[in-house]
């Protein structure tokens, strides 16, 4: 009996400590609540990383766009995306590392804006910055995969989110983007200049970015919905798109890791010699006497000869042109969207019959000029180049079909933007890509396959997603806007 | 808290001591053995029909106060026939006890260190003596258990100082710990490795070994393995993977001091069957002369000597051996032709296979073990004090481990009722140059996957010791051998880029036993295990950049340090009672409570951007700002209450009931208390039916339900701090999301067994069956990244393990002079993943280089390998039109779990000579070899060279009759006749194409038969010893002497990354070390 009493005493003492038990299990070294703007900056930084890195496990698109070739290990150039699980990694970079932090930032803004004493306009500008960034990220994922989780994504309560067809995703993204552009009050502040490394909290610049992104989405869907595209283009141009390189959605990387341009890690820090410039781009630049050649590539040891590595094959580092010195600079900026791109879209818009002012040739020349100015080509060389019959809009290859000439020039301008370079080839179908040894032209991917891990982590929805893209999860399947 | 315990302890003592028994007179005497007349200590002497009794002392003497009414004394001792003696009016009762062959019973230590008669146990346990683990010594004594205990699967990894994977009755947890609990003299010991996730996934890292290696084998008296949940239920939930209970040697009452000295030396060499063999026909390069960028002889070309003609130069930047055929008449420039300090500077010399291949790189391992123990005692007090020095060098250059252990145990009888026990251990282990594991920076990966057969390891050694610089065979530019492209100079890596670590550990306990009456004991005990450890890793300035540091960036130099402290304290209050009711019934019971506190802290900090001052290894010597350190600090407390009763009837039928309730801080309030129980029945049927030749027979049955908590800090989600971007502060949503609604895990276990002994105990037999289902597991489930996270802690899932264990022993010869015993054990475990949380059908345990992963897949055994598999057509492998096997993504390509494991131990004794040897067998189970995947691709193994089925060199062009013919069929079903090209690395052995050459090609059967251990001991006869020595033994020992059978080419199927759930993956695997040595034991 006495022992029982003793036991009850003991038990009572333990149970009275349940507060203490709960306290013991709380994190003591990590924050359970953080400022919204820190999540926004992180998500945006990761979005730039996703677009700009050159990790062979992830972003292989500088190869797919045939800007870079590989030396000893050309697996990625041969479109092997299974062994290294590249689709899985790009997907993760997009959803988990970029979009989720942006989404969480939005939640935190809604939870804290009043406490922080923000005006509604400031809050809305923050919402808009987040939404524009998210629209950009989702559009890229949709472009890569053809169908992606969207309506059920980024919700920890839905462990197996269903996929939405890319065209449905686009339709909603356009609505979200329109709302975001409307929300922006260019005269009010957004995120702090400390945290908004893109535009320093200048909401009017975000508005231009939003409109330029709208232009990009419009052009992307132009082949499948010309009417909607025309409306969007007109609205975007009226509201105001990028008008100079100063408007670029650009990140200025810093000189010390981990804030260096991510390609610095692969080209310099690794000490490896995996990449050289591909013959595809080198040969084209040589053919056009393009003054960007010495920027994009280094000559061989003789100081004059440019020889790109054979795309898709293995190459000797010392016997191929290296990637230009500018790309070995840790502070090389990274881009989401730039003025040159906008002008190319405007040229295309004119060709597609949308009235926006200016001729296709003017916009085409503006685009090339913007690209060359960005890479530091002097004015005289630009003028000479534009006068080159192989470049001049009227006489360039492709003649009457704008897709070839705009496609090639846009592809050249996108040299440091692998995903967009490859997408331009997919969308405009310009002629000029090489075929890796043992492969055929049809083996050049039209899309990224779904992440391999989705088969086991989200299998049922993955099966349904295959139907959404036409039944077959392979690289030949085209995404919805790629109708040719 | 300690004070409260003390208060409680005192209260219990006060309560209990009031119940004392009246005594009227005293009876004394001496109990001796019938066999040899020696005094028998520890014999129970009880007045029949009462609980009044005592035990004999070390000389066999006893003295007992008995009531006037007492008339019969009962003398019992396990293994001896019980005697009942009329007292009459005597005050001295002497008696001799004879052996009882029908009582197999031995005393075994059970959960909570409670000794029990084995016959009364309704669950299986297996005991191993200390001699069996300290004879042929290993860095970790656990390695020495391999093949000795049925149902205990051990995988030693061959990593120097590395961890040992030990699993009892199969893996029960999807993601949690599957290693058993280690308990030394009642002190639970941490056995974590602290290896980081990067290492476990086969990337860069070191195997830091299992913390159980701190247990000094010299101090081990016995090891008892509690295999099932019923056996370990009293230990609480964390013992659900079984318990390895270690009892250390103790002092005994004796005249004078006993001194034991032990000294041992062993030397080891690698077993060449477990290391790669190289083809000797082709050298450096990735392709032949007809391919792209090589000159006409298959070399790089330049006019090195300025004579106006192009010279042949070895492609130093290509870390493969798919290049030009060796030709002793062809002189070329090698890597050292460009090294001014080399004798070959400026010289061209013949293109031949290296004289000294990597097999010559390995050194002789030397292990020294010296130990001294002093023990002594009298009737009231005993003690033992020991010191052991273990000093080990490895087979790699610059590899040492030194361990110093001090152990003290003492026991003091303060008065008739109060005994104090103390146990204290201090261990310091310092290691330099541990094995780098996996793919990155591991020299075994270099040798097995990326090597040039023309490189002579001795010339690498000579140039390093001559210059002290990183002059490598693998310069990115052959003119510059000091700028390596992938691999450093072999000796630079060992002498400059080594790691070191040191761990100081204190563990021990203090216990007070209060025995108010002979049937009741109250124990209060405090035990603790605490250690702190520092781990330092470095890359010297001038090395190949490799993933390093907090941010896993490619760093050409750097320094990192990790400080870990781990501690656990246990406070126990345990009442045990032992009462007889009449002559037939008895009850042994336990009632207790336990408070456990655990704390863990870990700080990992590294430089970034390289080191400023070479050779200065400090955090402040960082080029860039030191990144945020990784800082982990967790605490956990668990409060347990438990009761156990063992009811016995006539030494024949025993019912064992246990119950325990735990309250754990790791679970959310409301779900943090969980109850569990076990029921076990033991029926000694030989007491009821006498069968000829059978001395003893017992069946056992048990059932247990055990709950389990989880690790700390899994209920509240916290954000991750990333390095700032300029002034911008960056936080991110965590990749692993915690869950405030976690519930306890459940384990349900059934077990049945049969124990027999016959032929005068020459035959012993033990058969066990079990089935265990672990469900509602707490799993960090991997999610579709579209959820915005990678992992979420969830409850769910079920794994079932079923198995059979058999142990059979027989004395083939048994007479006074000669004894030959064979003991064999055999066990088969089958695991099945029945479900996973939230309806997923696959959980990826680890994802490895080579596109291979280890998985828990519903409907499959735990831990299957997945990767690209063969495509089959009518049971035949499909070969594509270019002659390559077609690959299909994401197939189950192997099951690393063995079909069965077993061991056969032979022990022969002739007078003072004893010979024992162990054959250790593991049958079935598969391993994936990244070494073969890349190593064949780079053309290093003999099978990548030589002649094909046509008699032509495989490496010739297809047009010239070269190539390799794969067995299989073409897509149309016709027998394949298309040869795959093998003239360059991208052909028949290529690693980089996902549509062909599936990962399944390098999956191998992991079976082995090993001649694991041999020990020959000579005990000097006592007449030779004189007065000084009480015992002298000289032993010759050998470990891992032969692998009698295996199917994994060029590697030990047991090798791997380290302990943990990621097994069955070989990458940069280390060869087996064969050791022989001698040991001298002196007892004064």
pLDDT tens sequence across B383-431: 999 999 999 999 999 999 999 999 999 999 998 899 999 999 999 999 9
The pLDDT assigned to B720 comes to 94
The pLDDT assigned to A13 comes to 52
What residues contact residue B837 under an 8 Å CB cut-off, 6+ apart? B777, B779, B781, B794, B795, B796, B797
The pLDDT assigned to B105 comes to 54
Q: Which of B553, B788, B986 is nearest residue A269 as measured by Cβ atoms? A: B553
Backbone angles phi, psi at A45, to 5 degrees: -60, -40
The pLDDT assigned to A14 comes to 54
The pLDDT assigned to B34 comes to 72
Interface check B726 vs A, CB under 8 A:
yes
Domain assignment of residue B293, yes or no: yes
Q: Do B728 and A453 touch (CB under 8 A)?
A: no
The pLDDT assigned to B13 comes to 36
Residue A158: closest C-alpha in chain B: B787
CA distances from B343 to B314, B346, B349, B473 (A): 17, 9, 11, 15
Q: Do A22 and B668 touch (CB under 8 A)?
A: yes
Instruction: Give yes or no for a contact between B129 and B222, defined as CB atoms under 8 angstroms apart.
Output: yes
A-B CB pairs within 8 A amount to 265
Residue B626: closest C-alpha in chain A: A257
The pLDDT assigned to B8 comes to 36
End-to-end CA distance of chain B, in Å? Answer: 45
Residues of chain B with Cβ-Cβ distance to A310 below 8 Å are 292
Whole-angstrom distance, CA of residue B339 vs CA of residue B341: 5
Q: Could you tell me how many residues make up chain B? A: 1084
Q: Which of A95, A272, A458 is nearest residue B788 as measured by Cβ atoms? A: A95
B1035 vs B816 pLDDT, higher one: B1035
CA B834 to chain CA mean position, Å: 27
pLDDT at B193 over 90: no
User: Position of tokens 């909570």?
Assistant: B112
pLDDT at B761 over 90: no
Burial class (CB in 10 A: 0-12, 13-18, 19+), B97: buried
To the nearest whole angstrom, how far is the Cα of A20 from the nearest Cα of chain B? 8
Burial class (CB in 10 A: 0-12, 13-18, 19+), B832: middle
Window from B16-25, B388-397, B530-539 with minimum mean pLDDT = B16-25
Instruction: Give yes or no for a contact between B252 and B382, defined as CB atoms under 8 angstroms apart.
Output: yes
Percent of chain A with pLDDT over 70: 96
User: Position of tokens 């987040």?
Assistant: A130
Average pLDDT over residues B654-676: 92
Residues of chain B with Cβ-Cβ distance to A22 below 8 Å are 665, 668-669
Q: Do B733 and A270 touch (CB under 8 A)?
A: no
pTM score, two decimals?
Answer: 0.85
SS3 for B441? coil
Q: Do B625 and A256 touch (CB under 8 A)?
A: yes
**Pair of tokens at residue B290:** 């007809």
Q: Do B851 and A7 touch (CB under 8 A)?
A: no
Interface of B with A in 481-510 (CB under 8 A): 483-486
User: pLDDT category, A6, cuts 50, 70, 90?
Assistant: low
The CATH number assigned to the domain holding B95 equals 2.60.40.1120
Q: Do A14 and B639 touch (CB under 8 A)?
A: yes
Instruction: Give yes or no for a contact between B82 and B76, defined as CB atoms under 8 angstroms apart.
Output: yes
Q: What is the pLDDT of residues A364-401, one digit of tens each?
A: 999 999 999 999 999 999 999 999 999 999 999 876 78
Domain assignment of residue B289, yes or no: yes
User: pLDDT category, A1, cuts 50, 70, 90?
Assistant: very low
Average pLDDT over residues B771-786: 92
Backbone angles phi, psi at B6, to 5 degrees: -65, -40
Eight-state DSSP code of residue A223: T
Q: Which of B719, B725, B735 is nearest residue A45 as measured by Cβ atoms? A: B725
Q: Do A156 and B737 touch (CB under 8 A)?
A: yes
The pLDDT assigned to A10 comes to 56
Q: Do B784 and A149 touch (CB under 8 A)?
A: yes
Q: Which of B733, B781, B986 is nearest residue A100 as measured by Cβ atoms? A: B733
Interface of B with A in 941-980 (CB under 8 A): none
To the nearest whole angstrom, how far is the Cα of B376 from the nearest Cα of chain A? 38
Domain end, chosen from B469, B486, B503, is at B486
User: pLDDT category, B20, cuts 50, 70, 90?
Assistant: very low
Domain assignment of residue B329, yes or no: yes
Spell out a b/e string for B343-374, using b for 16 or more CB atoms within 10 Å of the CB, else e.
Answer: ebeeebeebbbbeebbeebbbebbbebebbbb
The pLDDT assigned to B2 comes to 38
Residues of chain A with Cβ-Cβ distance to B13 below 8 Å are none
User: pLDDT category, A435, cuts 50, 70, 90?
Assistant: very high
Residues of chain A with Cβ-Cβ distance to B484 below 8 Å are 271
| Residue B456, domain extent | 281-352+451-486
Whole-angstrom distance, CA of residue B124 vs CA of residue B680: 10
**Pair of tokens at residue B847:** 């994802």
SS3 for B42? coil
Q: What is the pLDDT of residues B286-334, one digit of tens each?
A: 998 887 778 899 999 999 999 999 999 999 999 999 999 999 999 999 9
Residue B484: closest C-alpha in chain A: A271
The pLDDT assigned to B411 comes to 93
Count: domains in chain B: 3
Compute chain B's Rg from CA coordinates: 32
Q: Is the peptide bond before A258 cis (omega within 30 degrees of 0)?
A: yes
pLDDT at B18 over 80: no
Cα torsion B1053, B1057, B1063, B1064: sign? negative
Instruction: Give yes or no for a contact between B547 and B204, defined as CB atoms under 8 angstroms apart.
Output: yes
pLDDT at B1025 over 80: no
Domain assignment of residue B218, yes or no: no
Domain assignment of residue B346, yes or no: yes
Residue A45: closest C-alpha in chain B: B725
Residue among B251, B229, B249, B250 nearest B111 (CA) = B229
Domain end, chosen from B441, B461, B486, is at B486
The pLDDT assigned to B799 comes to 95
pLDDT at B14 over 70: no
Domain end, chosen from B978, B1005, B1032, is at B1005
Whole-angstrom distance, CA of residue B16 vs CA of residue B9: 11
**Pair of tokens at residue B533:** 């450890």
The pLDDT assigned to B533 comes to 96
Eight-state DSSP code of residue B1055: -
What residues contact residue B441 under an 8 Å CB cut-off, 6+ apart? B204, B493, B497, B546
Instruction: Give yes or no for a contact between B442 and B1061, defined as CB atoms under 8 angstroms apart.
Output: no
Window from A109-118, A208-217, A474-483, B40-49 with minimum mean pLDDT = B40-49
Whole-angstrom distance, CA of residue B648 vs CA of residue B120: 8
pLDDT at B934 over 90: yes
Residue B552: closest C-alpha in chain A: A258
Eight-state DSSP code of residue A97: I
> Torsion angle of alpha carbons B932, B937, B941, B944, nearest 10°?
130
Segments in A113-223 forming alpha helices (H)? 120-145, 166-183, 203-221
A367 vs B580 pLDDT, higher one: A367
Backbone angles phi, psi at A112, to 5 degrees: -120, -10
Q: Do A82 and B627 touch (CB under 8 A)?
A: no
Residue among B496, B527, B498 nearest B511 (CA) = B527
In sequence order, what are the beta bridge partners of B526? B510, B571
Long-range residue pairs from B667-670, CB within 8 A, at least 24 positions apart, any chain: B667/B709, B667/B710, B667/B715, B667/B742, B667/B743, B667/B744, B668/A22, B668/A25, B668/B715, B668/B740, B668/B741, B668/B742, B669/A18, B669/A21, B669/A22
Interface check B841 vs A, CB under 8 A:
yes
Q: Which of B286, B728, B784 is nearest residue A197 as measured by Cβ atoms? A: B728
- Per-chain mean pLDDT for chain A: 93
Residue B738: closest C-alpha in chain A: A156
Residue among A222, A252, A284 nearest A433 (CA) = A284
Whole-angstrom distance, CA of residue B903 vs CA of residue B150: 8
Residues of chain A with Cβ-Cβ distance to B721 below 8 Å are 30-31
B252 vs B19 pLDDT, higher one: B252
Please give the domain boundaries of chain A with CATH numbers for all domains: 7-18+33-258+332-438 (1.25.40.390)
Domain assignment of residue B991, yes or no: yes
Eight-state DSSP code of residue A347: H
Q: What is the pLDDT of residues B780-818, one digit of tens each?
A: 888 999 999 999 999 999 999 999 999 999 999 988 789
Angle between helices A2-15 and B2-16 (to 10 degrees): 170
Q: Is the peptide bond before B888 cis (omega within 30 degrees of 0)?
A: no
- Per-chain mean pLDDT for chain B: 89
Residue A152: closest C-alpha in chain B: B787
The bridge status of strand B181-184 relative to strand B72-76 is: unpaired
Interface check B57 vs A, CB under 8 A:
no
Residue B722: closest C-alpha in chain A: A42
Whole-angstrom distance, CA of residue A395 vs CA of residue B830: 74
Interface check B1002 vs A, CB under 8 A:
no
Average pLDDT over residues A307-331: 94
Q: Do A96 and B609 touch (CB under 8 A)?
A: no
CA B305 to chain CA mean position, Å: 57
Interface of B with A in 578-637 (CB under 8 A): 591, 593, 608-609, 623-625, 627, 631-633, 635-637
Instruction: Give yes or no for a contact between A350 and A360, defined as CB atoms under 8 angstroms apart.
Output: yes
Backbone angles phi, psi at B196, to 5 degrees: -85, 170
Residues of chain A with Cβ-Cβ distance to B725 below 8 Å are 41, 45, 197, 254, 259
Backbone angles phi, psi at A311, to 5 degrees: -65, 130
Instruction: Give yes or no for a contact between B738 and B791, defined as CB atoms under 8 angstroms apart.
Output: no
The pLDDT assigned to B17 comes to 37
Q: What is the pLDDT of residues B674-722, one digit of tens each?
A: 998 999 999 999 888 888 888 889 999 999 998 889 999 999 999 999 9
Residue A83: closest C-alpha in chain B: B851
Q: Angle CA(B917)–CA(B922)–CA(B923) in degrees, nearest 5?
A: 135
Residue A18: closest C-alpha in chain B: B669
Percent of chain B with pLDDT over 90: 64
CA A351 to chain CA mean position, Å: 26
Helix (H) or strand (E) holding A107: helix A100-112
What residues contact residue B384 under an 8 Å CB cut-off, 6+ apart? B249, B250, B251, B373, B374, B375, B407, B408, B409, B410
Q: What is the pLDDT of residues B834-862, one digit of tens each?
A: 999 877 888 888 888 888 999 999 999 99
To the nearest whole angstrom, how far is the Cα of B129 from the nearest Cα of chain A? 38
Q: Do B730 and A315 touch (CB under 8 A)?
A: no
The pLDDT assigned to B523 comes to 93
Window from A107-111, B174-178, B980-984 with minimum mean pLDDT = B174-178
Average pLDDT over residues A258-278: 93
Q: Angle CA(B533)–CA(B534)–CA(B538) in degrees, nearest 5?
A: 155
Residue A164: closest C-alpha in chain B: B786
Interface of B with A in 192-221 (CB under 8 A): none
Residues of chain B with Cβ-Cβ distance to A258 below 8 Å are 551, 553, 608, 627, 723
Q: What is the pLDDT of residues A378-387, one digit of tens each?
A: 999 999 999 9
Residues of chain B with Cβ-Cβ distance to A451 below 8 Å are 785
Q: Do A26 and B716 touch (CB under 8 A)?
A: yes
């Amino acid at each position: 009996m006495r022992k029982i009493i003793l036991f009850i005493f003991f038990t009572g003492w333990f149970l009275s400590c349940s507060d203490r038990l709960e306290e013991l299990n709380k994190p003591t070294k990590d924050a359970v609540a953080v400022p919204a703007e820190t999540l926004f900056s992180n998500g945006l930084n990761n979005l730039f990383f996703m677009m700009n890195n050159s990790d062979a496990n992830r972003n292989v698109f500088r190869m797919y766009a045939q800007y870079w070739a590989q030396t000893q290990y050309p697996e990625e150039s041969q479109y092997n995306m299974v062994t290294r699980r590249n689709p899985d990694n790009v997907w993760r970079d997009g959803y988990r590392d970029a979009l989720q932090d942006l989404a969480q930032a939005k939640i935190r803004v809604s939870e804290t804006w009043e406490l922080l004493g923000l005006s509604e306009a400031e809050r809305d500008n923050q919402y808009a910055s987040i939404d524009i960034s998210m629209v950009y990220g989702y559009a890229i994922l949709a472009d890569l995969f053809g169908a992606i989780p969207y309506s059920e994504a980024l919700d920890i309560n839905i462990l197996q989110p269903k996929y939405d067809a890319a065209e449905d995703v686009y339709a909603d993204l356009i609505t979200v983007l329109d709302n975001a552009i409307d929300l922006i009050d260019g005269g009010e502040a957004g995120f702090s200049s400390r945290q908004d490394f893109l535009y320093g909290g200048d909401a009017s610049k975000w508005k231009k970015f939003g409109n330029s992104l709208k232009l990009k989405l419009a052009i992307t869907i132009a082949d499948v919905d010309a009417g909607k595209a025309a409306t969007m283009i007109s609205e975007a141009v009226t509201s105001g798109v990028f008008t100079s390189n100063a408007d670029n959605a650009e990140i200025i990387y810093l000189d010390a890791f981990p804030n260096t341009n991510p390609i610095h890690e692969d080209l310099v820090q690794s000490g490896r010699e995996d990449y050289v410039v591909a013959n595809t781009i080198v040969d084209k630049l040589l053919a056009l006497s393009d003054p960007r050649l010495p920027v994009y590539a280094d000559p061989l040891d003789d100081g004059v000869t440019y020889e790109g590595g054979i795309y898709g094959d293995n190459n000797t580092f010392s016997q191929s042109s290296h990637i230009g010195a500018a790309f070995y600079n840790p502070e090389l900026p990274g881009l989401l969207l730039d003025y040159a791109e906008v002008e190319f879209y405007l040229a295309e818009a004119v060709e597609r019959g949308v009235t926006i002012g200016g001729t296709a040739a003017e916009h085409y020349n503006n685009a090339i000029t913007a690209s060359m100015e960005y890479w530091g080509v002097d004015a005289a060389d630009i003028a000479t180049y534009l006068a080159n019959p192989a470049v001049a809009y009227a006489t360039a290859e492709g003649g009457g079909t704008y897709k070839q000439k705009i496609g090639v020039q846009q592809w050249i301008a996108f040299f440091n933007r692998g995903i967009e370079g490859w997408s331009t080839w997919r969308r405009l179908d310009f002629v000029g890509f090489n075929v890796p040894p043992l492969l055929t032209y049809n083996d050049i991917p039209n899309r990224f396959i779904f992440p391999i891990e989705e088969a086991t982590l989200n299998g049922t929805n993955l099966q349904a997603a295959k139907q959404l893209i036409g039944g077959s999860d392979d690289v030949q399947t085209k995404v919805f806007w790629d109708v040719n | 808290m300690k004070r409260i315990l003390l208060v409680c302890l005192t209260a219990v003592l006060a309560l209990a001591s009031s119940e004392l028994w009246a005594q009227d007179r005293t009876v004394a005497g001496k109990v001796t053995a019938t066999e040899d007349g020696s005094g028998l200590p520890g014999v129970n002497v009880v007045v029949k029909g009462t609980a009044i009794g005592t035990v004999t002392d070390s000389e066999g003497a006893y003295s007992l106060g008995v009531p006037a009414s007492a008339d019969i004394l009962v003398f019992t001792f396990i293994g001896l026939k019980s005697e009942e003696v009329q007292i009459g009016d005597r005050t001295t009762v002497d008696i001799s006890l004879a052996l009882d062959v029908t009582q197999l019973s031995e005393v075994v230590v059970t959960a909570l260190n409670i000794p029990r008669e084995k016959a009364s146990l309704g669950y299986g346990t297996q005991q191993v003596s200390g001699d069996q683990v300290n004879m042929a010594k290993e860095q970790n004594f656990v390695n020495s258990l391999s093949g000795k205990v049925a149902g205990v699967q051990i995988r030693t990894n061959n990593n120097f100082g590395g961890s040992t994977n030990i699993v009892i009755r199969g893996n029960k947890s999807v993601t949690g710990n599957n290693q058993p609990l280690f308990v030394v003299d009642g002190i639970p010991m941490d056995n974590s490795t602290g290896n980081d996730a990067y290492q476990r996934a086969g990337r860069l890292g070191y195997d830091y070994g299992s913390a159980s290696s701190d247990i000094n084998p010299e101090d081990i008296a016995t090891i008892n393995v509690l295999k099932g949940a019923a056996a370990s239920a009293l230990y609480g939930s964390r013992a659900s993977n079984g318990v390895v209970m270690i009892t250390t040697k103790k002092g005994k009452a004796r005249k004078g001091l006993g001194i034991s000295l032990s000294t041992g030396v062993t030397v080891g060499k690698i077993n060449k069957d477990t290391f790669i063999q190289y083809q000797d026909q082709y050298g450096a390069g990735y392709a032949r002369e007809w391919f792209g960028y090589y000159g006409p002889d298959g070399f790089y070309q330049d006019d090195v000597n300025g004579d106006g003609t192009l010279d042949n130069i070895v492609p130093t930047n290509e870390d493969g051996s798919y290049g030009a055929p060796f030709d002793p008449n062809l002189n070329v420039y090698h890597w050292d032709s460009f090294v001014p300090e080399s004798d070959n500077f400026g010289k061209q010399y013949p293109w031949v296979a290296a004289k000294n291949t990597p097999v010559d790189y390995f050194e002789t391992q030397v292990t020294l073990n010296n130990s001294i123990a002093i023990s002594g005692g009298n009737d009231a007090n005993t003690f033992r004090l020991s010191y052991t020095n273990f000093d080990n060098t490895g087979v790699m250059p610059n590899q040492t481990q030194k361990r110093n252990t001090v152990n003290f145990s003492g026991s003091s009888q303060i008065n008739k009722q109060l005994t104090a026990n103390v146990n204290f251990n201090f261990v310091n282990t310092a290691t330099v140059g541990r094995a780098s594991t996996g793919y990155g920076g591991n020299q075994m990966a270099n040798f097995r996957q990326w090597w040039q057969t023309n490189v002579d390891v001795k010339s690498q050694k000579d140039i390093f010791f001559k210059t002290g610089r990183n002059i490598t065979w693998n310069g990115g530019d052959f003119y510059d051998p000091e700028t390596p492209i992938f691999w450093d100079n072999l000796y630079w890596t060992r002498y400059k880029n080594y790691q070191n670590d040191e761990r100081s550990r204190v563990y021990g306990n203090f216990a007070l036993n209060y025995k108010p009456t002979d049937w009741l004991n109250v124990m209060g005990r405090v035990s603790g295990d605490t250690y702190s450890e520092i781990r330092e890793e470095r890359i010297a300035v001038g090395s190949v950049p490799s993933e390093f540091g907090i941010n896993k960036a490619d760093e050409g130099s750097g320094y990192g340090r990790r400080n870990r402290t781990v501690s656990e304290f246990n406070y126990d209050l345990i009442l045990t009672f032992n009462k007889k009711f009449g002559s037939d019934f008895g009850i042994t019971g336990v009632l207790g409570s336990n408070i456990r506190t655990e704390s863990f802290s870990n700080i990992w900090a590294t430089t970034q951007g390289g080191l400023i001052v070479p050779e200065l290894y400090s955090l402040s010597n960082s080029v860039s700002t030191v990144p945020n350190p990784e800082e982990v600090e967790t605490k956990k407390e668990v409060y347990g209450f438990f009761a156990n009763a063992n009811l016995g009837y006539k030494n024949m039928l025993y019912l064992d009931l246990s119950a325990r309730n735990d309250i754990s801080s790791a679970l959310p309030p409301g779900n943090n208390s969980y109850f569990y129980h076990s029921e076990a029945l033991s029926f000694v049927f030989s007491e009821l039916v006498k069968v000829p030749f059978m001395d003893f027979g017992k069946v056992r049955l048990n059932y247990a339900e055990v709950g389990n908590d989880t690790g700390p800090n899994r209920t509240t989600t916290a954000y991750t701090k990333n390095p700032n971007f300029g002034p911008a502060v960056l936080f991110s949503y965590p990749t692993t999301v915690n869950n405030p609604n976690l519930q306890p895990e459940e384990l349900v276990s059934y077990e049945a067994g049969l124990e027999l002994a016959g032929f005068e105990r020459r035959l012993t037999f033990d058969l066990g069956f079990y089935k265990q289902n672990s469900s509602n597991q707490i799993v960090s489930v991997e999610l579709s990244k579209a959820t915005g996270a990678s992992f979420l802690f969830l409850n769910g899932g079920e794994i079932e393990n079923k198995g059979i264990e058999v142990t059979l022993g027989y004395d083939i010869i048994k007479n006074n002079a000669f004894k030959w015993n064979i003991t064999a054990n055999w066990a088969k475990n089958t695991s099945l993943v029945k479900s996973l949380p939230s309806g997923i059908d696959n959980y990826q345990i680890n994802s490895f280089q080579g596109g291979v992963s280890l998985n828990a897949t519903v409907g499959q055994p735990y831990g299957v390998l997945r990767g690209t598999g063969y495509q089959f057509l009518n049971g035949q492998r499909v070969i594509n039109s270019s002659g390559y096997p077609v690959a299909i993504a994401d197939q189950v390509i192997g099951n690393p779990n063995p079909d069965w494991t077993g061991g056969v131990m032979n022990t022969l004794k002739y007078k003072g000579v004893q010979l024992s040897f162990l054959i250790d067998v593991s049958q079935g189970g598969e391993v994936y070899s990244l070494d073969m995947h890349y190593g064949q691709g780079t053309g290093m193994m003999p099978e990548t060279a030589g002649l094909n089925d046509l008699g032509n060199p495989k490496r010739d062009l297809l047009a010239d009759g070269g190539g390799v013919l794969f067995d299989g069929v073409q897509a149309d079903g016709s027998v394949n006749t298309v040869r795959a090209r093998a003239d360059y690395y991208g052909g028949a052995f290529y690693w980089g194409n996902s549509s062909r050459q599936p990962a399944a090609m390098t999956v191998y059967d992991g079976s082995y038969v090993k001649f694991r251990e041999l020990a020959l001991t000579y005990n000097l006869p006592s007449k030779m010893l004189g007065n000084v020595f009480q015992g002298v033994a000289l032993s010759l020992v050998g470990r891992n002497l032969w692998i009698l059978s295996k199917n994994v080419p060029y590697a030990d199927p047991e090798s791997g990354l380290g302990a943990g759930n990621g097994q069955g993956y070989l990458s940069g695997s280390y060869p087996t070390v064969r050791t022989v040595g001698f040991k001298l034991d002196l007892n004064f």
